[in-house]
Amino acid sequence: MSEIKKVYVNEKNRVTIICPECGNVKVENAEQYKFEKGDRNIDITCEKCNARFTVFIDFRRYYRKSVSLQGIIYNLDEKFSKITVGNLSRSGVGFTIDDVFTVALNEEIDVQFTLDDDDRTFIRKRAFVRYIKDNFIGAEFTELQKFGKELTFYLKYTG
Ligand SMILES: [Zn+2]
């Protein structure tokens, strides 16, 4: 087992992964890794030389807060389900679906939930489904500016 290399997520939410065997450089969207709970050591197989190695992805720039918030998602056909938001960041949200509801990877959804701050701030954002595991969904917000101020304040100062 070789040494685990630490990689950082940049401001465009991307990680640069370099194969220690052949030097092949791969730039990937970090969002797909972000929703894995706990262990952030990610096993990579080099596309070029098939070497297997492990990287540790540091998400500190995009702080993700553990929460428990009630909300609703809509798909573009206006079907909806109750959700429980489990984690939240400026760039995305992870939640469990409480009803029988089917979403597809990369489907666009409308996420609505109420923060547990003093103002009970209502948040409504469009997002793309980027991660599905059973009834747990990770979604990436499309409109970062919308409610950006409210989310930044909440992530920084509440709880
Ligand atoms: Zn390689």
Task: Report the separation in Å between the CA atom of 21 and the middle of ligand 1, taken as the mean of its atom positions.
Answer: 5
User: Helix, strand, or coil here: 31?
Assistant: helix
User: Domain check: are 46 and 84 in the same one?
Assistant: no
User: Domain check: are 143 and 96 in the same one?
Assistant: yes
**β 5-8/14-18 pair status:** unpaired
Task: Report the separation in Å between the CA atom of 94 and the middle of ligand 1, taken as the mean of its atom positions.
Answer: 32
User: Domain check: are 76 and 153 in the same one?
Assistant: yes
Instruction: Determine the pLDDT at residue 35.
Output: 61
Domain count, the chain: 2
Instruction: Determine the pLDDT at residue 4.
Output: 77
Task: Report the separation in Å between the CA atom of 44 and the middle of ligand 1, taken as the mean of its atom positions.
Answer: 10
Q: What is the largest CA-CA distance in the chain?
A: 54
Instruction: Determine the pLDDT at residue 102.
Output: 87
Structural domain harbouring 129: 65-157
Residues 6+ apart with CB under 8 A from 119: none
pTM above 0.85, yes or no: no
Instruction: Determine the pLDDT at residue 113.
Output: 97
Instruction: Determine the pLDDT at residue 37.
Output: 46
pLDDT (tens digit, 0 to 9) for every residue of the chain, 159 residues total?
457 777 877 767 788 888 989 989 888 887 777 665 445 788 889 999 999 998 888 766 566 788 999 999 999 888 999 999 999 988 889 999 998 888 999 999 999 999 999 899 999 999 999 888 889 999 989 887 889 889 988 887 776
- Give the CATH number, domain containing residue 143: 2.40.10.220
